[in-house]
Structure 1
Amino acid sequence: MDPLSIAASIIAVLQLSAKVLAYLNDVKDASKERAKCAVEASNLHSLLLNLRFRLEEGIANTPWYTAIRALAVDNGPLDQFKQALETLQTRMTDGGRLKKASEALMWKFKKEEIAGILDRIERLKSLVEIALQMDHFKLSQAIINDTGIVRKTLDDVEHRRLVDWISPTDYPAQQSDIIKRRQEDTGQWFLEAPQVARWLSEAKGTLFCPGIPGAGKTMVAAIAIDHLLKSAQNSSHGVAYVYCNYKAQAEQDSSSILAAILKQLVQGRPSTVESVERLQKQHASRGTRPSPDEIYSALRDNSDGTRARFLTKIRDLQKGQDVCIMATSRFIPEIEDEFREALILEVRANREDVKRFVAGQIYRLPGCIQRSHALQEIVQKHIVEAVDGMFLLARLYTDSLLDKRTAKDVKSTLAKLSKGSAALDDAYKDALQRIEGQLDGDCKLAKKVLSWITFAKRPLTTAEICCALAVEPEDTELDLENMPDIEDLVTVCAGLVVVDPESAIIRLVHYTTQEYFEKISNTWNPSTYLHITTTCLTYLSFTAFQGGSCSNDKVFEERIQQNTFLDYAAKHWGEHARSVETEVSNQAGSLL
C-alpha cells in the first residue's frame, strides 16, 4: 500500500468522523453513552489528524511506515472504526433520511451496542498513540495483538448470529427490566421458604407457585431467576426461563418457547453450540425453521394446544436429564391439574415486602407526606392492610396519593381504599378519574396511549407508539415536530403505563389492566378501533411508500429500519380494520 493510499484511508475516516461528531453534538439526547461517544470520537479524531501529518512528512520505505500499513488493511483497525462510525451515522439519522441528528426520534442504541463501538474506538486510539511514538516494533506487536482481538470479536459476532437464528426473543432483557424494579430486600421470604430449599436440593424437582392476579408472581419469578443465575455462574448448571406475555400469545407457541430456552442455554454455555450449528446448517439452505421435535432434540443434547405440548416436551426432557422446573400461574384448574404432583408454594404479597415497597416510594409522594414521619406510618399501615395479598394494589394505591397535597386529603383517600374482590376495579376507576381530571390535552393523549397499548396486536416499542401518535389524518409524511416525549406518555397515564428500558417496550402495568380496558372500551373510548385503523392506513399511504414494493430483501430491510411504524402498520392494519370495515372501506380501497 503506497503512502497516498494510507493517507487517503485516514482522510476518509477523518471526514466521516467529523460528520458523526456533528451529529453526536446535535442529537436529541443527553445520555452518558452519547456524551462518552462524542468525547472518545473527538479524541481519536485529533490523534488521526496528527498521524496524517506524520505520514505526509515520513519516508515510505522506513520500518515505521511499513508497520503503519497494517492499520489500513481490510477489516483492520481503521476499517473497524469506520464501520463503527457508519453505524452511528446510520442509526442517528434513520439511514440518512434525516438531515440533522437533532431531528432524530431518540438515541437508538442499547448499552451493549455502545460498549462495542467504544471498544473499537479505544483499540484504534491505543494503536494510533503507539504509532505517534514512532516505535515500529512496538506498533507491529500491538497490531498483531489487536488482530487477535478482532478475530475473537468476529467469532463472537458469529455466535450471536447463530443464537439469534435460534430465537429472536430476548427474555434476558425482560428479566433485566423486571429485576431493576425490585424494591431492595423484598422477596426474601420466597428464597427462604422450605419448599424452595427442597426444590433446589432434589433432582428433577418441580415447584409450582400459583397466586391471585397482582400477587407479584412475575417479580417473585424474577427474584428466583436472579438468585439461580448468580448461583450457577461458576457451575455446570444452565438456567433458562420464559415470561408468558398476554400481548404475544400468537408468537409464544411451543416451538418459540422451546427455541428461546435453547438459545439461553447456548448463550450460557458456548461449548454446547455444536448441535445448534448442525440444526442451522440443515435449515439455512431451505429457508425453514426447526420443528418442536428438532428443538427438543437439541435441548436434550445441550442439557449437560401450546401449553400442553410445551409441558409435555419439558417433562420428557426432565425424565431423561436432571432438569428442575419452576412455574407460576393464576389459579386456573387445568394448570393446577398439570402440577398436582409438584411442590406447591402460593405467592402472596408479604406484609413486610409491601411496607418496604411503600417506604421506597415515599420520595415520589407530595411534600406533606415526605415531611411527616407520622403520616408516612399511616400511609404504610393503611396500604398494607388494604392490599390483602395483592402487590399490584400497593402500587396503584401509592399512585393514588400523587395528587393529594394536604394531610387531610391523604387520610381521606386512605380511608376509601377498597378491599376484597372489587378492589382492583375500584383502583382502576380511581386512576381513570385522575386521568380525566387532567388538562384536556393530557386527558386526550392518555386515552390514545392506553387505547393503543391495549388493542395493539403485539407489544409496541416506544419509537413505534411515538410515531403512531404523531400521525394525523391527511398527513403525507411523518411530522417529526409532532412526536411526543415518551416521559410525557407515561406521566399522563396515572401509573397505568410503564416502559421497559432494556427492550424499549411500552406496556400496561399488569395484564389485569388489559382485561379492565377491554371490558370498558365501548364506553370509555368507543372510537378506538377506528382511530387505530385510520392511523395505520394513513401511515401506509405516505409519499415515501408510493414507489411500490422493494426490489430486493436488502432494500426491504432498509425501508423497515428507516420507517419505525411500517412493520406494525403493514402487518396488522387488516386485523384492526375487521371491526370497522364500513367506516374505512374508502381509505383502504385507495391504499390497495
Structure 2
Amino acid sequence: MDPLSFAASIIAVLQLSTKVLGYLNDVKDAPKDRAQCAIEISNLYNLLFNLRVRIEEGDPLKPWYTSVRALAIENGPLDQFKQALETLQAKMIDGDRLGKAGQALVWKFKKQEVDSFLGRIERLKSLVGIALELDHLKLSQAIKDDTNVTRTQLPVLQSGVDKIRQVQDDAKHHRLMEWISPADYPAQQSDIIKRKQEGTGQWFLDAPEVVRWQGEAKGTLFCPGIPGAGKTMVAAIAIDHLLKYVQNSSHGVAYVYCNYKEEQDTSSMLAAILKQLVQGRPSTAAPVERLHEQHAARGTSPSLDDIFSALRGVLTDYTAVYVVIDALDECQNSNGTRSQFLTKLKDLQAVRDIRLMATSRFIPEIEDAFREDPRLEVKASKEDVERFVAGQMYRLPRCIQRDSTLQNMVKEQIVEAVDGMFLLARLHTDSLQDKRTPKDVKSALAKLSKGSTALDHAYKDALQRIQGQLQGDQELAQKVLSWITLAKRPLTTAEICCALAIEPEEPELDTENMLDVEDLVSVCAGLVVIDEESAIIRLVHYTTQEFFERTRGEWNPNGPLYIARTCLTYLCFDTFKSGGCSTSGEFDERLRQNQFLDYAAKHWGEHARMVEAEIFNAVSLLLFQTGSLACASQVLFISEIKYGKYSRHYPAITILHIAARFGLSDTTVAIFCGAETPCTIPLDEKDSWGRAPLWLAAANGHVEMAKLLLDMGADVNAEASEGGHESIAKLLLDKGADVNAEASAGGHRAITKLLLDKGANINAEASAEGYKEIAKLLLDNGANVNAEASARGHKLIVKLLLDNGANVNAEGGEYVGGHEAIAKLLLDNGANVNAEASKGGHEAVAKLLLENRANVNAGSIIHGKALYVASAEGHESIAKLLLDNGADVNAEGGEYGNALQAASKGGHEAIAKLLLDNGANANAEASAEGYEAIAKLLLDKGADVNAKSGRYGNTLYAASEGGHKAVAASAGGHESIAKLLLDKGADVNAEGGEYGNALYAASTEGYEAIAKLLLDNGANVNAKGGEYGNALQAAYREKESAIVELLIEKGADLNVINNDG
C-alpha cells in the first residue's frame, strides 16, 4: 500500500472517530465508561492526525514507510480499531425507540466490552506513538506483538464485528421492505397481544364460523361489534393463532390495523400486506425488487397498479394467504378508499386463495359490502371480562388486593355493568384505583355507569379524577391529552416528550426539562397507553377521541392555542436558523437529533389556522425568519421516498406560498394589507415547482384563502378546482374563470353541476370512476363525451353515454379499458374503437376489439398506443396479437417514447426481443433499471454504445436520468451493465449529464465496484466535472471513504481534500 492510500485509510478512521464522538456526547446519564471512551478516542484521534501529516510530508523510500504501512494491512491494528468503532456506533444507535428524550442515546455496554474496547485503543496509541518516533525496527516488532494479542484477547469485539457484518448483509433487504411500506403492523400486533389475559378470545377461535373460515378456500368472515367490544383484541388473537398455524407451511398471514389518525390509502395498505408476505418468505422479494429498481433512483413511488401487480406476483408463491383487516370503520372513505381497498382484496380473492377476515362497527355501508358473507358478532364474553378484571387486581388498592370477597364483588359488578363492552370494563377498573377503603370501593361499584351513555359517563369520571390531582399533575395531564387528541397523526413518546419540554420564548430545548414517559401515562387516569414496540402514545380507544372532540370546549378550550404556539416556538429555535441541509446525510442527522422537527414542520400551519388571530405574531416571526422557514419547508415538502440526494429536492417558495398551503388567510391580509410596509410578493409568483399560491390554496381545500387571493387580484384561470372542492370551484366560476370539468373526475356531482351551469366546456372525465349520476348530468347538459367510463368496467354508465349519443370514437384520457362486456357494448353501438384494452392485459377484449376492425394504432392521450401500453405492462400475448394485426412497432408516444423503450424500462426481455424481431429501432432505452439481458440484446441488435441521451431517449441510459450511457449505468449502480458497455467499446471518459463523467457518478453514489471497474479501464482519475469538481472531492464530500482510498491509490490529487479541510 502506498503512502497516499495509507493516508486515505487514516482519513476514514478519523471521520468515523468524529461521528462516534458525536454519538458519545449524545448519551444521557451514562456511567464514567462513556466519558473514558470519549477521552481515549480523542487522544488517539490527535495521534492519528499527526501520523497522517508525517506520512504526507515524509520520504516514501525510507525503511520507516515500509514498517508504518503495516498498521493499515487488512485486519491489522488500524482495521481492528475501525471495526471496534463500528461496533460501538452500531450498538449506541440501535433501537431505543422508547427513549425519554428526543436527543438522548442509551449506554448499553457491559464492563467486559468497554475494557476490550479501551484495550484496543491503548494498543493502537502505543503503536502510533512508536511510529511517530520514526523507529522502524521497534515499530515492526510492536506490530507483530500486537497482532498476537489481537488474536487472543479480542473475542468480545470480534463477536460484535461479526454481528455488524450480519446486520449489513440483512440491511439491503430491510431497506427494501421499508421502502415498499414504512407501516409496522407487526409491532402493533405485538403490543396488543402482550395485553391479552391467558384464555381470552378462545370462544372466538372455537366458534364454528371461524373454524369453517380457516379451512375454506377463498372464504370471507365479517366480524362486527359495538364500540369497545374488543374487536381489535379479537383480531390480534386471530392473527396470533394464524401465525402459529401457518408456520413451516405454504400458507401466509398478513394484516392491517386501520387507524383514524393515520393516512392510509389503498396503495399503502396493499403495500403493507405485500411487505408482510415478502418478510414471511424473503425468496418472494423479486417483484418488490423490480419496483425498487424502477422507482427508487428517481424518488418516485409505485402506483396502485404497481403494488397490486407485485402483490399478485408474490401471492403465486403461497398456497393460501389469510388477510385480517381490523377496524374497517376507521378506514377513511370520504375519497372512496375503503370501498376501493375492499374491491382490490376481492379482486385478489377471485384469482388466488385469499381468506379474508374483517372487523368493524355496525355501519350500514360496511355491512352491505359483506352482506353475502358469513358473520360472527364480536362481544366481550363474561369469562373474558372476568379474566381481564382478575388480571388487573395487582393495580388496584391494597384494600381490594387483600380481600377476596371484595375482589369477587368487583368482578361480578363490573361484568354486570359492561354488557359485552370490553372497553368499559377497563375504564371501570381504572376508576377504582383511587378508592382506598372497602366503603369507597363499594360506593364506586354502585355508581358504575351502564347502558348507552355508559362510556361518556366513564370518561367524565376519568376527567374528574384528573382534575382532583395535584396542580402540576393536572396541568400535565391536560397537556398530554391535548397533544394526543389534537395531533394530526400519532405521536411517538420521543416526540411528545420533546413537545412537553418546549418552553415559551426559549431559543433551545433544555434536556433537563424532559419528562419520563411513565409519568405521562400515570397522570391521565387510564385514558392514555403506550404501544411499546412502536413507541406510539395514544388514547385507550377511538371512542375516547370522539368524546374529547365533542367536549373540548368544556375540558380544554385553550388546547389548540397551546399546540400551535409550541410548534412555532420550536421551529424558531436557534439550531434551525441556518436553513435547509445541503446533503441527505445532514438532513437525516438533523431529524434524528431533533425528533419533534418532522411533526412541527409538517403540521404547524394546520394548528395555527385554528387560532390564527391569537397566534399571528408567532406565525409572522417564523415566516420572516428566512433560515427557520427554509428548514421547516425542507421537511414539509421533501419526498417521503429516500433516494440519492433526496433532501435537495424541495421547492423554493415564498411566504405567500406557505400561507396558501396552510390556508392562513388572516395572516395574509395582515402581511399584505395591514402592515406599515406591506409585502410586495407578486400574487401569481410560481414556486420552483411551477405552482402559484392560488393552486396551493385550492389543492388543499382552503376556500377562504382562495377567495382572498382572487379578491386581491390573483390569476382567475389558475387550476384551482383540481382538488374537487365545490366551494372553490363555485368561487372560481363566480370570478369568470375559464373552467374545465376536472373537478368532476372525483365524482363530485355538485361541482359538475356548478360547472355545467356556468357553461363550462365539458369532457367526460367524471365517468371514469363510475359515477352514473355525474355521467347523466353531463349528458343532460349536451356534453360531447367519450366512453371513458369503460376504464373501470361500469357498463351502466357506458350504456348511458351511448344512449345519449356519446361520441364513442373519441380518444380516451388517462383511463384505459379492459372489460369485455363494455367493449362489446361499444362495438354493438358502432364504435370505431382502438385497442386500449391492452393496458389491463385483457387479451380477450383486445382480440374482440381487433375482430371488430378496431384501429390498432390508435392511442390515448396519456398512455399512448396500444402496443406501447402492452409492452410497458408486460403483456406479451397482447403485444404479439397487435403486431400480428399490423401495429407500428416504432410508433412514438407515451412517457418513454415508444414500445421498445417501455419494454426496456419495465425489464420485459421477452417483449423487447419480440419487438426487435419485428423491426424495432435498437437505439431505445434499456439500462435505466439495470436490466443486463435487455441491454445485451439491444447491443447485439446494433445499438450505438456511445450515444448520448436525454431523460428517456437512449438505448442504454440508466438511473441518473441524463447524460452518456456509461455515466448513467455508473450512477445507477449497474456494474454488470457498465462492464458490458465497456466491453462493447464505450468511451470510459465520455462527458455528459448531471454527473459529468462515469467515474464522478460512481464516486458520488458510492458504487465502489463500478469505480474500480472504470479506473481499471482507463478512467481519468482527476477528470473535472460535477458539483464538487472531480471524483475525489465528490467521494470525500459524500463520505465514501472506501472510494476515497481507491481514488488516491489510483493517483488522485490528494491536495483537493487537504485544501478542503
Taking structure 1 as the reference length, the TM-score comes to 0.83
Letter in 2 for 1:330: R
Report the Cα distance in structure 2 between the residues aligned to 1:149 and 1:21, rounded to whole angstroms: 20
Question: Residues 374 and 188 from structure 1, CA distance in 2 versus in 1: closer, same or farther, beyond 3 angstroms?
Answer: same
Residue in 2 that maps onto 1:27: 28
Report the Cα distance in structure 2 between the residues aligned to 1:203 and 1:92, rounded to whole angstroms: 40
SS at match of 2:505: coil
Deviations 1:529-582 (A, max 9, x none): 111111111111111111222223332222221111111111001111111111
Question: Residues 215 and 103 from structure 1, CA distance in 2 versus in 1: closer, same or farther, beyond 3 angstroms?
Answer: closer
Q: Does 1:333 align with 2:347?
A: no
Deviations 1:130-152 (A, max 9, x none): x989499999xx99999997765
SS at match of 1:506: strand
Residue in 1 that maps onto 2:301: 289
Q: For 1:254, which of 256, 266, 270 is the aligned residue?
A: 266
Deviations 1:200-255 (A, max 9, x none): 1100111111110001011111111111111112111111111011211xx20001
Report the Cα distance in structure 2 between the residues aligned to 1:395 and 1:498, rounded to whole angstroms: 12
The structure number with the bigger radius of gyration is: 2
The 8 Å contact of residues 492 and 537 in structure 2, kept in 1 or not, is answered as: yes
Higher relative contact order (CA closer than 8 Å, sequence separation 6+): 1
Residue in 2 that maps onto 1:451: 482
Alignment of 1:138-537 (within 5 A): 153-248=167-262, 251-303=263-315, 304=317, 305-537=336-568
Deviations 1:170-223 (A, max 9, x none): 111111111111112211111111111000110011111111000101111111
Identity across aligned pairs (percent)? 61
The 8 Å contact of residues 220 and 357 in structure 2, kept in 1 or not, is answered as: yes
Residue in 2 that maps onto 1:98: none
Report the Cα distance in structure 1 between the residues aligned to 2:582 and 2:161, rounded to whole angstroms: 37
SS at match of 2:253: coil
Letter in 1 for 2:291: L
Letter in 1 for 2:310: A
Question: Residues 154 and 77 from structure 1, CA distance in 2 versus in 1: closer, same or farther, beyond 3 angstroms?
Answer: farther
Letter in 1 for 2:340: R
User: How far has the Cα of 1:471 moved from its partner?
Assistant: 1.4
Question: Residues 83 and 547 from structure 1, CA distance in 2 versus in 1: closer, same or farther, beyond 3 angstroms?
Answer: same
Report the Cα distance in structure 2 between the residues aligned to 1:282 and 1:234, rounded to whole angstroms: 33
Q: For 1:568, which of 574, 584, 599 is the aligned residue?
A: 599
* Structure richer in helix, relative to its length: 1
User: How far has the Cα of 1:81 moved from its partner?
Assistant: 3.4
Report the Cα distance in structure 1 between the residues aligned to 2:176 and 2:189, rounded to whole angstroms: 22
Question: Residues 81 and 591 from structure 1, CA distance in 2 versus in 1: closer, same or farther, beyond 3 angstroms?
Answer: same
Report the Cα distance in structure 2 between the residues aligned to 1:92 and 1:347, rounded to whole angstroms: 36
Residue in 2 that maps onto 1:84: 87
The 8 Å contact of residues 295 and 302 in structure 2, kept in 1 or not, is answered as: yes
Letter in 2 for 1:300: R
Question: Residues 298 and 428 from structure 1, CA distance in 2 versus in 1: closer, same or farther, beyond 3 angstroms?
Answer: same
The 8 Å contact of residues 383 and 397 in structure 1, kept in 2 or not, is answered as: yes
Q: Does 1:548 align with 2:563?
A: no
Question: Residues 310 and 79 from structure 1, CA distance in 2 versus in 1: closer, same or farther, beyond 3 angstroms?
Answer: farther
User: How far has the Cα of 1:21 moved from its partner?
Assistant: 11
Letter in 2 for 1:407: P
User: How far has the Cα of 1:286 moved from its partner?
Assistant: 2.4
User: How far has the Cα of 1:285 moved from its partner?
Assistant: 2.9
Deviations 1:451-494 (A, max 9, x none): 11001000001111111111122111112222221111101100
Letter in 2 for 1:166: I
Report the Cα distance in structure 2 between the residues aligned to 1:447 and 1:165, rounded to whole angstroms: 37
User: How far has the Cα of 1:18 moved from its partner?
Assistant: 10
Question: Residues 103 and 341 from structure 1, CA distance in 2 versus in 1: closer, same or farther, beyond 3 angstroms?
Answer: closer
Unaligned runs of 5+ in 1: 49-59, 95-101
Question: Residues 310 and 103 from structure 1, CA distance in 2 versus in 1: closer, same or farther, beyond 3 angstroms?
Answer: closer
Question: Residues 426 and 149 from structure 1, CA distance in 2 versus in 1: closer, same or farther, beyond 3 angstroms?
Answer: closer
SS at match of 1:327: strand
Report the Cα distance in structure 2 between the residues aligned to 1:72 and 1:267, rounded to whole angstroms: 38
Deviations 1:293-316 (A, max 9, x none): 110110100012111111111111
Deviations 1:305-352 (A, max 9, x none): 111111111111111011111110000110111111222111111111
The 8 Å contact of residues 92 and 107 in structure 1, kept in 2 or not, is answered as: no
SS at match of 1:583: coil
Q: For 1:591, which of 622, 629, 632 is the aligned residue?
A: 622
SS at match of 1:582: coil
Count of residues in Structure 1 that have an aligned counterpart in Structure 2:
550
Residue in 2 that maps onto 1:53: none
Report the Cα distance in structure 2 between the residues aligned to 1:335 and 1:273, rounded to whole angstroms: 33
Report the Cα distance in structure 2 between the residues aligned to 1:93 and 1:503, rounded to whole angstroms: 11
User: How far has the Cα of 1:90 moved from its partner?
Assistant: 6.5
Letter in 2 for 1:519: R
Taking structure 2 as the reference length, the TM-score comes to 0.47
User: How far has the Cα of 1:590 moved from its partner?
Assistant: 1.6
Letter in 2 for 1:271: S
Report the Cα distance in structure 1 between the residues aligned to 2:101 and 2:475, rounded to whole angstroms: 25
Report the Cα distance in structure 1 between the residues aligned to 2:430 and 2:160, rounded to whole angstroms: 53
Report the Cα distance in structure 2 between the residues aligned to 1:400 and 1:451, rounded to whole angstroms: 21
Report the Cα distance in structure 2 between the residues aligned to 1:356 and 1:106, rounded to whole angstroms: 41
User: How far has the Cα of 1:17 moved from its partner?
Assistant: 12
SS at match of 1:560: helix
SS at match of 2:392: helix
Unaligned runs of 5+ in 2: 45-63, 121-144, 318-335, 624-1061
Report the Cα distance in structure 1 between the residues aligned to 2:569 and 2:222, rounded to whole angstroms: 47
Report the Cα distance in structure 2 between the residues aligned to 1:497 and 1:294, rounded to whole angstroms: 39
Residue in 2 that maps onto 1:71: 75
Question: Residues 103 and 260 from structure 1, CA distance in 2 versus in 1: closer, same or farther, beyond 3 angstroms?
Answer: closer
The 8 Å contact of residues 351 and 384 in structure 1, kept in 2 or not, is answered as: yes
Report the Cα distance in structure 2 between the residues aligned to 1:560 and 1:460, rounded to whole angstroms: 15
Letter in 2 for 1:567: D
Larger mean CA deviation between 80-89 and 568-577 belongs to: 80-89
Question: Residues 66 and 585 from structure 1, CA distance in 2 versus in 1: closer, same or farther, beyond 3 angstroms?
Answer: closer
